[in-house]
């Protein structure tokens, strides 16, 4: 027989300290009858706990903290809300939980869940929806199961999904969820999990289906799928029911144009970019790792071709971010006022956070950068104009009550960017957009513009609550940060480090152009292993990627190889020269004493050649080589050059060394021998090459002097010093003419020490100063650095062989 619980005054008195202080606030918030029900909820909750604890006494002495917490929350809730909502809340809690021994389920804080649910959603959800949600909760936990707590977790998951469902379809979705939770075929213990999966799948597909999600959901509810089938369906909708979704979604599905888009994006970026579906049908492209996420479907164009143009336009903005340097933000190129906002770490997050409303500043950055990219794209790819136009027309559709950023978005998306401003906002925004719409405009200009625009706007508008509801380009801030991190070790370091590297130290003079004299032993070069060398497969990847080129290179050098051997006839020993032998026998037969020199011998050519490939390893080598190919930078040219050179000389067997240098100040020029003379082109050397990365500054004179010192000690007669130069020499107190003149002196000294300096200057930063080196050495200037790797063995072949 069921045990009946009677009201116990002690229980409520026990919580009096939590209840009574709130009473003055509650008087106007509740009717008398509701107050009694509210106390009964607390009473019953306590009894529930007691009944499970089976120890009334101890429960009274040590009231369960959870119940106490709930009591406080409950009172606070009532105090905050109006009588109508309070009455409703009490009714909802009472509905879900009644103390009755026949129906004791668990001591979980269901009451708290209801409170939270109403608190969070009462303004956005209808009472009917909320009640239905609570009915669902009742359905999934109403059993005596140890899994009750997990059922609650599943309900929570479902709630977080449902929160993202638009109001227009939410009610239906909740009703469907209720039906799922009452399906007879679903075992009680599985209801929670099924519900959570349903919520998750609904949320996921919403981005694709929009309001058509109702049809999808309705089909599910009325289907005869088993629990297992439903679970699989919810958890892996894309793979299982792709067709269903696309059919419901309409428009042009990504799958239909995937191949064409992939080719387009890869061609545009020059990278092996992948394309995936995003979970929304919003018209923008996000980027993560090596993947562009594009809308599952586009259904705004007139036809499939029109939609494809829009797809292309969407992808182009993200590709444009790579091509036009969005992710290559260089703070040293930003004006001082804006640079300060990046903080000491030079962090773009700091930049956004330096404004009152970081969310607004980031939104503004994305809009202005969109504007810049838009111009650059149309300038470079006129064919994109139509797609871009359609896209912008769609995304700028005005909303009922647009936020400030939405209004800016409309201005940004206007195709007639130069139109005369017609209101205050346009007066501020339009000139700034126009300032970005110039050829060669950079992301650095965009951040400066953000600073300026934000300051102007903040004088006229309250920016505190403003945010951007829908993006038009998603700029991955993490990637900008990552690039910043890479720069940290290089030229972005504001002050030279005082730390000296361990290793053998060498002192060299440095030429002081202004005094027309050397500074004796002014520079210290520290010879040290390459820092932080790790196992890597860089060389093998290059060999694989460029196998055709390298094989050709090796075969060329291998074909050169025989030329190094000379067959010398008429020797006293060696291989028999049958021609001579026949002659000797004939002479002997004719009575002439024949010569004994009937042998031939092969002698190695006496070419006496050695070489060193020296490169500076400054931070500037991290620059993109080709905007379309962000993963291929100047540093990769250096690495490839050393690989090509090594492969070539390995084929011919000549000795050589590979070296790089970088450093900070005259006290610490680090010189790394990647491959020493006499060392074979082995695994260690390959690891070293693979580990090369942009480091600090480049004090070229010191690097060349030390290389000369090492090279000049080699016994070979021809000692070639290949110096790969990118841009101007630069170190603390070492720049401009001073640096150029010292480098020139070092090259002259190298020559004086019996070396043959060969300078290969590449890139767009080659100036007259660098060119002036050509007076003192073999000098090659390469406008496209990609040619450097092949140029190096070619020069070697021409000079040495």
Partner 1 sequence: MKRLETVVRDIGIDERDKKLVIQTFKEYKKLKHQSRADSNDSQYKEVQDQTFFDIYSSIYNSGPLAEDNTRRGLFVEALSGVVSLSPSTTYVNRLKYSGTNACIALLGLKKEGKKIEKDPKKDPIPNRALSLWANSFGHLKHNWAGKNMPEKLGRYLRISIDHLGNYHPSHEYVLQSISTRGAIFGIEDFMFDLAKENELDEKTASKYFTTLRKIPIRSREILESIRKRIPKKNSQDVNNCLYSLLSKSRENKSSISSLISLLAHVDRYLPDQESGEAILSNEPHLTSVIETDNNAMESLEKNTQEILAWGNFVESSGLLSHYLEVAETISRLEDDDSNKSSYRDLSTEIFKDYYRRNEDLPKHKDVQDKCYHAIESISSLELFPRSLAIDLTTSAAKKLKRSIRLDREEYSLPLDSLVEIVVNSISINADKANDFLGYVIKYR
Q: Between residues 35 and 178, which has the closer beta carbon with respect to partner 1? A: 35
Q: SS3 string of 217-230?
A: HHHHHHCCCCHHHH
Among residues 25 and 55, whose Cβ is nearest to partner 1?
A: 25
Which one, 14 or 89, has the nearer CB to partner 1? 14
Of 227, 385, 248, 393, residue with least CA distance to 312:
385
3-state secondary structure of 665: coil
Cross-strand pairs, 601: 568
| 9 touches partner 1 (CB under 8 A) | yes
Cα–Cα distance measured from residue 312 to residue 386, given in angstroms and rounded to the nearest whole number: 10
Cross-strand partners of 793:
none
d(CA 271, CA 290): 9
Separation of alpha carbons 737 and 405, rounded Å:
48
16 binding partner 1? (CB under 8 A): yes
* DSSP letters for 534-552: ----HHHHHHHHTHHHHHH
Among 1, 2, 3, 32, binds partner 1 (CB under 8 A): 32
520 contacts 509 by C-beta, under 8 angstroms:
yes
Smallest gap from residue 62 Cβ to partner 1 (A): 10
Site residue total, partner 1 (CB under 8 A) = 26
Contacts of 296 (CB under 8 A, 6+ apart): 207, 208, 245, 246, 249, 253, 254, 277, 278, 279, 280, 281
Check residue 26 for interaction with partner 1 (CB under 8 A): yes
Q: Is 221 in the site for partner 1 (CB under 8 A)?
A: no
Q: How far is the CB of 324 from partner 1 (least distance, A)?
A: 58
CA distance 329 to 333: 8
Tokens 């099924």 locate to 194
**Options 24-32, 248-256, 308-316, 371-379: segment touching partner 1 (CB under 8 A):** 24-32
Q: Which of 35, 461, 518, 738 binds partner 1 (CB under 8 A)?
A: 35
Q: Which of 2, 3, 28, 498 binds partner 1 (CB under 8 A)?
A: 28
720 is an interface residue for partner 1 by CB under 8 A: no
| 14 binds partner 1 per the rule CB under 8 A | yes
- Distance, in Å, from the CA atom of 416 to the CA atom of 425, rounded to the nearest integer, reads 16
| Shortest reach from residue 73's CB to partner 1, in Å | 13
What does the alpha-carbon distance between residue 681 and residue 661 come to, in Å, rounded to a whole number? 20
Residues 431-460 that bind partner 1 (CB under 8 A): none
Q: Which of 44, 66, 72, 339 binds partner 1 (CB under 8 A)?
A: 72
Rank residues 63 and 729 by Cβ distance to partner 1 and give the closer one. 63
Quick one: which of 740, 753, 728, 744 has its CA closest to 776?
744
Q: Does 80 bind partner 1 (CB under 8 A)?
A: no
Stretch that binds partner 1, among 33-41, 340-348, 581-589, 739-747 (CB under 8 A): 33-41
5 binds partner 1 (CB under 8 A): no
- Binding piece for partner 1, criterion CB under 8 A, among 12-20, 500-508, 620-628, 639-647: 12-20
Give whichever of 13 and 547 is closer to partner 1, judged by the CB atom: 13
We find the least distance from the C-beta atom of residue 104 to partner 1, in angstroms, to be 21
Shortest approach of partner 1 to residue 12 CB, angstroms? 4
**What is the rounded distance in angstroms from the CA atom of residue 81 to the CA atom of residue 78?**
5
Q: How far is the CB of 14 from partner 1 (least distance, A)?
A: 6
Among 2, 4, 24, 548, binds partner 1 (CB under 8 A): 24
- Comparison of 5 and 732: residue with beta carbon closer to partner 1: 5
Q: By CB under 8 A, tell whether 518 contacts partner 1.
A: no
440-457: b or e for each residue (b if 16 or more CB lie within 10 Å)?
Answer: ebbbbbbbbbbbbbbebb
Residue span binding partner 1 (CB under 8 A) among the ranges 1-9, 384-392, 657-665, 680-688: 1-9
Contacts of 684 (CB under 8 A, 6+ apart): none
Q: How far is the CB of 25 from partner 1 (least distance, A)?
A: 9
Nearest distance, CB of residue 13 and partner 1, angstroms: 5
Alpha-carbon Rg for the chain in angstroms: 38
Residue 43 interacts with partner 1 (CB under 8 A): yes or no: yes
Tell me how many helices (H) and strands (E) the chain has. 34, 18
Q: Are strands 599-604 and 297-298 parallel, antiparallel or unpaired?
A: unpaired
For position 82 contacting partner 1 by CB under 8 A, the verdict is: no
Question: Running DSSP on this structure, what letter comes out for residue 20?
Answer: G
Residue 15 or 656 having the CB closest to partner 1:
15
The contact set with partner 1 (CB under 8 A) reads 7-9, 11-14, 16-21, 23-24, 26-28, 30, 32, 35-36, 39, 43, 68, 72
């Amino acid at each position: 027989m069921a045990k009946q619980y009677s009201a116990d005054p002690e229980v409520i008195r026990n919580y009096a300290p939590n209840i009574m202080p709130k009473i003055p606030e509650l008087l106007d918030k509740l009717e008398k009858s509701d107050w009694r029900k509210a106390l009964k909820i607390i009473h019953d909750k306590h009894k529930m706990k007691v009944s499970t604890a089976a120890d009334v006494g101890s429960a009274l002495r040590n009231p369960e903290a959870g119940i106490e917490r709930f009591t406080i929350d409950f009172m606070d809730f009532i105090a905050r809300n109006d009588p109508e909502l309070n009455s409703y809340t009490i009714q909802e809690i009472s509905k879900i939980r009644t103390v009755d021994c026949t129906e004791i389920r668990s001591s979980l804080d269901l009451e708290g869940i209801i409170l939270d649910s109403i608190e969070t959603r009462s303004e956005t959800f209808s009472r009917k929806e909320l009640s239905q949600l609570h009915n669902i909760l009742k359905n999934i936990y109403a059993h005596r199961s140890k899994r009750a707590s997990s059922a609650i977790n599943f309900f929570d998951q479902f709630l977080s999904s449902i929160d993202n469902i638009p109001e227009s379809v939410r009610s239906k979705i909740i009703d469907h969820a209720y039906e799922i939770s009452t399906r007879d075929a679903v075992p009680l213990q599985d209801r929670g999990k099924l519900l959570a999966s349903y919520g998750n799948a609904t949320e996921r597909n919403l981005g694709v289906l929009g309001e058509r999600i109702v049809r999808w959901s309705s089909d599910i509810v009325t289907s005869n799928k088993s629990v297992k089938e439903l679970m699989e369906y919810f958890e892996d909708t894309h793979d299982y029911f792709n067709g269903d979704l696309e059919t419901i979604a309409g428009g042009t599905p990504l799958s239909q144009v995937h191949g064409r888009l992939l080719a387009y994006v890869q061609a545009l970026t020059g990278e092996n970019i992948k394309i995936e579906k995003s979970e929304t049908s919003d018209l923008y492209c996000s980027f993560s790792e090596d993947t562009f996420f594009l809308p599952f479907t586009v259904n705004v164009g007139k036809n499939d071709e029109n939609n494809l143009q829009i797809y292309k336009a969407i992808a182009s903005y993200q590709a444009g971010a790579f091509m036009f340097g969005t992710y290559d933000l260089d703070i040293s190129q930003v004006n001082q006022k804006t640079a300060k906002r990046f903080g000491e770490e030079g962090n773009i997050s700091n930049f956004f956070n330096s404004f009152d409303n970081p969310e607004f500043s980031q939104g503004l950055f994305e809009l202005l950068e969109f504007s810049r990219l838009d111009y650059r794209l149309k300038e470079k790819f006129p064919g994109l104009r139509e797609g871009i136009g359609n896209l912008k027309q769609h995304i700028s559709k005005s909303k009922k009550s647009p936020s400030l950023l939405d209004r800016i978005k409309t201005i940004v998306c206007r195709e007639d960017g130069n139109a005369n401003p017609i209101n205050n906002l346009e007066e501020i925004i339009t000139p700034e957009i126009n300032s970005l719409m110039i050829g060669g405009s950079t992301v650095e200009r965009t951040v400066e513009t953000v600073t300026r625009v934000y300051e102007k706007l903040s004088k006229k508008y309250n920016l505190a609550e403003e945010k951007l509801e829908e993006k038009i380009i998603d700029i991955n801030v993490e990637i900008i940060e990552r690039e910043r991190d890479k720069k940290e070790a290089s030229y972005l370091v504001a002050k030279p480090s005082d730390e000296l590297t361990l290793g053998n130290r060498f002192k060299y003079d440095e030429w002081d152009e202004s005094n027309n004299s050397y500074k004796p032993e002014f520079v210290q070069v520290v010879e040290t292993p390459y820092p932080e060398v790790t196992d890597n497969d860089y060389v093998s990847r290059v060999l694989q990627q460029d196998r055709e080129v390298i094989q050709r290179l090796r075969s060329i050098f291998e074909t050169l190889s025989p030329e190094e051997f000379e067959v010398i006839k008429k020797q006293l020993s060696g291989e028999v020269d049958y021609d001579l032998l026949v002659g000797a026998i004939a002479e002997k037969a004719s009575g002439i004493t024949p010569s004994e020199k009937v042998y031939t011998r092969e002698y190695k050519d006496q070419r006496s050649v050695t070489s060193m490939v020296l490169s500076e390893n400054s931070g500037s080598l991290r620059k993109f080589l080709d905007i379309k190919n962000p993963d291929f930078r100047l540093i990769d040219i250096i690495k490839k050059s050393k690989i090509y050179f090594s492969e070539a000389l390995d084929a011919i067997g000549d000795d050589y060394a590979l070296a790089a240098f970088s450093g900070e100040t005259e006290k610490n020029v680090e010189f790394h021998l990647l491959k020493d003379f006499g060392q074979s082109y082995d695994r260690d050397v390959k690891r070293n090459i693979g580990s090369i990365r942009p480091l600090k500054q480049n004090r070229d004179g010191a690097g060349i002097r030390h290389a000369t010192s090492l090279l000049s000690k080699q016994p070979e007669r021809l000692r070639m010093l290949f110096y790969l130069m990118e841009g101007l020499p630069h170190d603390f107190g070492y720049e401009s003419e001073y640096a150029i003149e010292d480098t020139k002196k070092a090259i002259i000294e190298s020559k004086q020490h019996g070396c043959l300096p060969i300078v290969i200057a590449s890139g767009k930063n080659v100036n007259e100063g660098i060119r002036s080196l050509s007076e003192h050495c073999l000098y090659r200037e390469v406008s496209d650095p990609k040619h450097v790797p092949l140029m190096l063995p070619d020069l070697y072949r021409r000079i040495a062989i």
